[in-house]
Amino acid sequence: MSNSRQGATQQPQPAGKLFQFKLVLLGESAVGKSSLVLRFVKDQFDDFRESTIGAAFLTQTICLDDATTVKFEIWDTAGQERYKSLAPMYYRNANCAVVVYDITQSSSLDKAKSWVKELQRQADPNIVIALAGNKSDLSARRVVETEEAQAYADEAGLLFFETSAKTATNVNELFTSIAKKMPLDMLANPRPRGTGLNARGVDLNRDSKEVGCAC
Amino acid sequence: MDEQYDVIVMGTGLTECILSGLLSIEGKKVLHMDRNDYYGGESASLNLSQLFKKFRDGEAPTANLGKDRDYNVDLIPKFMMANGELVKILTHTDVTRYLEFKLVAGSYVYREGKIAKVPATEMEAVRSPLMGLFEKRRAKKFFEYVQTYRQEDPTTHQGMDMAITPMDAVYKHFALEAGTIDFIGHALALHLEDSYLSRPALETFERITLYMSSMARWGKSPYLYPLYGLGELPQGFARLSAIYGGTYMLDKPVDEIVYEDGKVVGVRSGSETAKCTQVICDPSYAPDKVHKVARVIRAICLLRGPIPNTDGVDSFQLIIPQNQVQRQNDIYIAGVSASHNVCDKDHYLAIVSTVIETENPQQEIEPGLALLGPIVDKFVSIVDICEPVHNGTKDQVFVSKSYDATSHFETVCDDVKDLYKRITGNDLVLKQRLTQEEEQKEMAGQ
Ligand SMILES: Nc1nc2c(ncn2[C@@H]2O[C@H](COP(=O)(O)OP(=O)(O)OP(=O)(O)O)[C@@H](O)[C@H]2O)c(=O)[nH]1
Ligand SMILES: [Mg+2]
């Protein structure tokens, strides 16, 4: 059994370097957070999907080049944001965040903006944030203009993509550009930020060491 | 909210969150509410503004304490026994994947006006000033007996049955000194007072064994502590529950538990009523269903640095056995610091607590406060320790116990198991949840 929670931990791999990051999804209910993850991780889409039960915690790996692999440990909200009940634990130690809105719901962009604010206030100051305007396939019902969201993203220093979990448009691009924006150089040393189980903590799953009686 | 649920849970303390998680995994439809806008109830960890809101009537936090987000101040002073039940529940449910733990750096005991380290290694035991040379030999014999004793194997009994022999008779048998008895009973078996002396020794043997196996697991001390404070524990189980479909509503006032024919049928908040067949809650949501069994005083102290005479460790437990300060109950001090992400680099946190015996509880914790060095600020609470009057099977409202004065979560886990049995009719059998990797493989195979 391996340990489970690592921050930006680098492990030497035969194929080059592997960087692992915690990525959180945020955004109003039904904007397509889980759908984006499903598309990214399993390349699937479901028109009538319900909240993922039992596995709102997935990993996916991106090879940036022969020498660099980025592994995202993806946290989905599991619906806890629905009644404003997301736990601080959720975005603690997040290295990157995808804040999602629905281009057919203008209120969802307002909500996305408030999440960005919250992250900038509470999360790691070095967090990489991407804004995703999802459901771009529904262009007939679009109410949020691309330029408007782009201007906001530029101003707030966010990556920005309009995506469709349904058609897969820009989904890989979104995650790849996050991977590219991660400060990998800064993480050249193992356990650069002192986060992660290996760096500081004990692994409860590890078998106990046998030590004689203390007294 | 106006929906039908199997179980409505009120209060997001650790007990409630573990049960919520376990029941959600089993497929129960769970609604989990809390009147506060934060997780954890009485077992929460608060940031500075929340702390000041709770203790200082909304006063703004003192400016020089540092950043709000650097603080996660526990309301209850507890650690996890490394080999205890909570660790088992955490690993079986794989809630460990959301959390990080650190060892508590040292365990100390107050003896004849001095602070002494509870030996963590053979070496430390040999050097320890806690016992003289001959006493060490006697104590060694005693510990060997405890370690080999098996209730089901009479060849290990040496003629004494621990299921009936009172503990003080065992001490006498090994001719242990009063100071050693204090040390074993309070610093190792973690008894809060001395009533155990006349009870069968088996209970104390089990406690000593738990302490020693926990100590042996990682060395240094028998305790673990979650980074970012104890409040991470309920949050972790709440996430487990949510992932298995549990619905969470914080900042939700609860106005009424609704009954029909003596059985619970729902919970009302304002004009909304959620229907259910069972309710689980902490004592504060059902004040008419609990009675007070004790009162505890807790002083959360902000310090400038590690407390004197503890080798500058970043975390510790210090026990002042009752006899040492002429009391009936021990005084406990739990200390944690910035290396656990519970306060900023320039501060240190300690909670001094004890079971109240007199009309002047502040006075009772003085011997503990006196050991801390300069205190920057102090937040004192006096809380009732409550237990449910009924077991809940009649009206299907199951009330948990308050967090007691013990220094660990063993009694919390007992309550969880007990509640689980009353709620479901079955014993709690922990099944190993798939790990992240296994889960993903399973999904890929579908
Ligand atoms: N047309 C279209 N529909 C989408 C897209 N992404 C998601 N949906 C649909 O939108 C609905 C909500 O998607 P989810 O992925 O469950 O949304 P969510 O943000 O995870 O919602 P919560 O878990 O409730 O917070 C589902 O019916 C999806 O099929 C998209 O790109 N295009
Ligand atoms: Mg979802």
C-alpha neighbours within 13 Å on the C-beta side of residue B226: 30
Residues in Cβ contact with B320 at an 8 Å cutoff, skipping those fewer than 6 apart: B109, B110, B330, B331, B332, B333, B367, B368, B371
- Residue of chain A nearest B441, judged by CA positions: A58
Token reading at B215: 């100590």
Ligand nearest to the CA of A29: 1
When scoring B144, B243, B336 by the number of chain A Cβ atoms within 10 A, the one with the most, hence best to mutate, is: B243
Answer with the residue of higher pLDDT: B220 or A176: A176
Report the number of distinct structural domains present in chain A: 1
Ligand 1 atom with minimal separation from the A27 CA: 19
Cβ atoms of residues B222 and B159 within 8 Å: no
Beta strand spans in B79-213 (E): 80-81, 101-103, 106-111, 114-117
Distance CA B208, CA B81 (A): 12
Q: Is the distance from the beta carbon of residue A135 to the nearest atom of ligand 1 less than 6 Å?
A: yes
Decide if B407 contacts B81 (C-beta within 8 A). no
A164 C-beta closer than 6 A to ligand 1: yes
Contact A201 B439 (CB under 8 A): no
Q: Is A132 in the pocket of ligand 1 (CB under 6 A)?
A: no
Q: CB B235 to CB A210 under 8 A?
A: no
Contact B83, B411 (CB under 8 A): no
Mean pLDDT of chain B: 94
The per-residue pLDDT for range B155-179, each reduced to its tens digit, is: 999 999 999 999 999 999 999 999 9
Res B342 pLDDT > 90: yes
Residue A130 lies in a domain: yes
CA distance B238 to chain A (A): 9
A154 touches A116 (CB < 8 A): no
The response to whether residue A29 sits with its C-beta less than 6 Å from ligand 1 reads yes
A203 inside domain:
no
Asked, for residue A92, whether it belongs to a domain, the answer is yes
* Residue whose CA is at the smallest distance from ligand 1 atom 32: A135
Please state the rounded mean pLDDT for residues B272-288. Answer: 97
* Residue nearest atom 8 in ligand 1 by C-alpha distance: A32
Q: Could you tell me which residue, B442 or B395, shows the higher pLDDT?
A: B395
Alpha-carbon span A184 to A19, nearest angstrom: 8
N-terminal to C-terminal alpha carbon distance within chain B? 33
Q: Determine the residue type at B79.
A: F
The reply to whether the predicted model has a pTM over 0.80 is yes
> Tell me, what's the pLDDT at A54?
54
Q: Look at residue A111 and tell me if it is in a domain.
A: yes
Distance A29 CA to ligand 2 centre (A): 7
**Ligand closest to the CA atom of residue A169:** 1
Q: Which CATH number fits the domain that encloses residue A28? A: 3.40.50.300
> Which residues are within 8 A (CB) of A53 and not within 5 positions of it... i.e. 6 or more apart?
B243, B244, B245
CA B333 – CA B354 distance, rounded (Å) = 9
On whether the CB atoms of residues A75 and A57 are closer than 8 A, the answer is: yes
**Any domain includes A6:** no
State how far the Cα of A90 lies from the Cα of A56, in Å rounded to an integer.
12
Task: Please choose, from the candidates B27, B21, B38, the residue with its C-alpha nearest in 3D space to the C-alpha of residue B5.
Answer: B27
Q: What is the distance between the alpha carbons of residues B446 and B440, in angstroms, rounded to a whole number?
A: 10
Domain limits for position A130: 17-186
Distance CA B282, CA B262 (A): 20
What count of Cα atoms within 13 Å lies in the side-chain half-sphere of residue B142? 27
Contacts of B390 (CB under 8 A, 6+ apart): B289
Contact B242 A80 (CB under 8 A): yes
Residue A199 lies in a domain: no
| B224 torsion bin: left (phi>0), alpha (psi -120 to 50), beta (else) | beta
**Does a structural domain hold residue A210?**
no
| A33 in contact with ligand 1, CB cutoff 6 A | yes
Q: How many beta carbons lie within 10 A of that of residue A151, not counting itself?
A: 12
A47 lines ligand 1 (CB under 6 A): yes
- Tell which wins on pLDDT, B220 or B209: B209
pLDDT bin (cut points 50, 70, 90) of residue B399 is: very high
**Candidates B101, B139, B243; nearest CB to A54:** B243
Location of structure tokens 């910035």: B338
If residue A174 lies in a helix (H) or strand (E), which one and from where to where?
Answer: helix A171-181
Kindly determine whether residue B224 and residue A209, on different chains, have CB atoms separated by under 8 Å: no
Residues of chain A with pLDDT under 50: 1-9, 11-14, 188-200, 208-215
Atom number, ligand 1, closest to the C-alpha of residue A76:
20
Q: Which string of DSSP letters, residue by residue, matches B310-363?
A: STT-SSEEEEE-GGGGT-SS-EEEEEEEGGGTSS-TT-EEEEEEEE--SS-HHH
Determine the pLDDT at residue A192. Answer: 35
Check A208 against B444: CB less than 8 A apart. Answer: no
Cβ-based contacts of B215 with chain A (< 8 Å): 214
Any ligand 1 atom below 6 A from CB of A118 = no
How far is B12 from B14, CA to CA, in rounded Å?
6
Token pair of B397 as six digits: 């409202």
Which residue, judged by its Cα, is nearest atom 24 of ligand 1?
A29
pLDDT in tens, B57-90: 878 898 889 888 899 999 999 999 999 999 999 9
Is A31 close to ligand 1, i.e. is its CB under 6 Å away?
A: yes
| A100 Cα nearest atom in ligand 1 | 19
Domains of chain B plus CATH, in order, are 7-56+230-289+388-439 (3.50.50.60), 63-84+292-385 (3.30.519.10), 121-218 (1.10.405.10)
> How many CB pairs (< 8 A) connect A and B?
137
Residues of A in contact with B96 (CB under 8 A): 4-5, 203-205
pLDDT at B406: 93
User: Measured between CA atoms, how close is A192 to chain B, in angstroms?
Assistant: 16
Mean pLDDT in residue range B136-158: 95
Residues contacting B116, CB < 8 A, separation 6+: B108, B109, B110, B128, B129, B130
Residue B139: count other Cβ atoms within 10 Å of its Cβ: 20
Distance CA A132, CA A170 (A): 9
Distance A33 CA to ligand 1 centre (A): 6
Q: Do B218 and A201 touch (CB under 8 A)?
A: no
- The answer to whether position A162 is within a domain reads yes
pLDDT at B444: 59
